[in-house]
């Protein structure tokens, strides 16, 4: 009985729930993301409760985990501190009433993203949206929610449902699901094209050569994202990579052969050994002849 009671007590100890010890963040003023989420180890943005156009504070993680402070991403580190501009990814107009017309007040270069940001306003409301290559300060951008029977004539910077645009139209900031904001084509110079319409779905050709059938009510912005020369700008120096927030790397190691600068010399001549013996009593003599 004693051995049985001991076994039962051991099983009871094993089946007890483990105590979860909360982990303290190295950055006390930073909201730590939930475990299991897709965390980005470059920066953490401090979002307020309400939307604002004031630049937000940023904590650079430099490739470290915000909870433990240990290095996770080796390629990240350093970088210039930038203010973050809160971009509103929803381009929706009220269903009952005229389209929403907004005026472009200013176009800003945001250090936390590749494309430029446009400050637009209508009435007393101002917000940031992702600028297209055709936007200029003082111009107007319109947001429509109707899908007419005949495709509209698109204008750069305007937002339409996918079902309202003709084929081969360049679009950006495309929604994947209705009402959830832009999901595709948000980097500098990127754009997608509209394909044929099948029922209530529209074919969208992405720059990655992938094709998606999306709901015709998903919103998209006409044009391509601004700062299209971003990919062609040379780095120029190693210091600029440090400014951009990248840590130095050792590079790809390869074994060097003769084509990498070593001298290629002629091979050593081969030596042949011949035996000479006239009779059994005489000793054996060797001669070396270079071939």
pTM (whole model) above 0.85: no
Residue 181: closest CA among 81, 92, 244:
92
Sequence-distant (≥ 6) Cβ neighbours of residue 77 within 8 angstroms? 62, 63, 245, 246, 247
Torsion (CA) 97, 98, 100, 101 in degrees, nearest 10:
-150
Where b means 16+ CB within 10 Å and e means fewer, 154-182 reads bebbbbbbbbbbeeebbbbbbbeeeeeeb
The torsion angles phi and psi of 114, rounded to 5 degrees, stand at -80, -40
Q: How confident is the model at residue 260, as a pLDDT? A: 64
And the tokens for 51?
A: 């939307």
Domains located in the chain, CATH noted:
21-84 (no CATH), 100-228 (2.30.30.30)
Query: Whole-angstrom Cα distance, residue 66 to residue 25?
Result: 6
pLDDT digits (tens), the chain, 291 positions: 455 454 444 433 333 333 333 344 444 444 444 444 435 688 888 999 999 999 999 888 888 888 888 888 888 888 888 889 999 999 988 878 889 999 999 999 998 899 999 999 998 899 999 999 999 999 999 999 999 999 999 999 999 999 999 999 999 999 999 989 999 999 999 999 999 999 899 999 999 999 999 999 999 999 999 999 998 989 888 889 899 888 887 777 766 666 666 666 788 877 766 665 566 666 555 555 554
Query: Whole-angstrom Cα distance, residue 189 to residue 184?
Result: 12
Is residue 136 within 8 A of residue 114, CB to CB? The reply is no
Q: How confident is the model at residue 21, as a pLDDT? A: 33
């Amino acid at each position: 009985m004693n051995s049985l009671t001991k076994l039962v007590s051991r099983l009871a100890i094993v089946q007890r729930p483990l105590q979860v010890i909360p982990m303290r963040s190295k950055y006390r003023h930073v909201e730590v993301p939930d475990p299991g989420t897709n965390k980005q180890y470059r920066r953490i943005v401090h979002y307020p409760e309400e939307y604002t156009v004031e630049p937000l504070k940023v904590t650079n993680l430099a490739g470290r985990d915000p909870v433990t402070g240990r290095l996770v991403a080796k390629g990240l580190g350093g970088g210039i501190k930038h203010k973050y501009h809160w971009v509103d990814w929803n381009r929706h107009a009220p269903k009952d009433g005229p389209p929403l017309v907004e005026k472009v007040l200013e176009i800003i270069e945001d250090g936390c993203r590749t494309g430029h940001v446009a400050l637009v306003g209508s009435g007393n409301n101002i917000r940031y949206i992702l600028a297209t290559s055709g936007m200029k300060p003082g111009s107007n951008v319109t947001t429509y929610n109707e899908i007419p029977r005949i495709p509209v004539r698109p204008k750069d910077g305007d937002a339409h449902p996918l079902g309202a645009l003709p084929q081969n139209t360049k679009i950006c900031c495309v929604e994947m699901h209705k009402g959830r904001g832009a999901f595709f084509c948000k980097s500098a110079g990127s754009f997608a094209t509209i394909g044929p319409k099948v029922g209530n779905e529209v074919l969208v050709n992405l720059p990655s050569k992938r094709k998606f059938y999306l709901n015709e009510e998903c919103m998209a912005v006409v044009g391509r994202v601004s700062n299209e020369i971003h990919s062609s700008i040379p780095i120029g120096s190693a210091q600029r990579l440090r400014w951009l927030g990248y840590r130095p790397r050792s590079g790809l190691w390869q074994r060097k052969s003769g084509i990498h600068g070593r001298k290629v010399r002629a091979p050593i001549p081969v030596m042949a050994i011949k035996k000479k013996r006239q009779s059994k009593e005489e000793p054996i003599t060797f001669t070396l002849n270079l071939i």
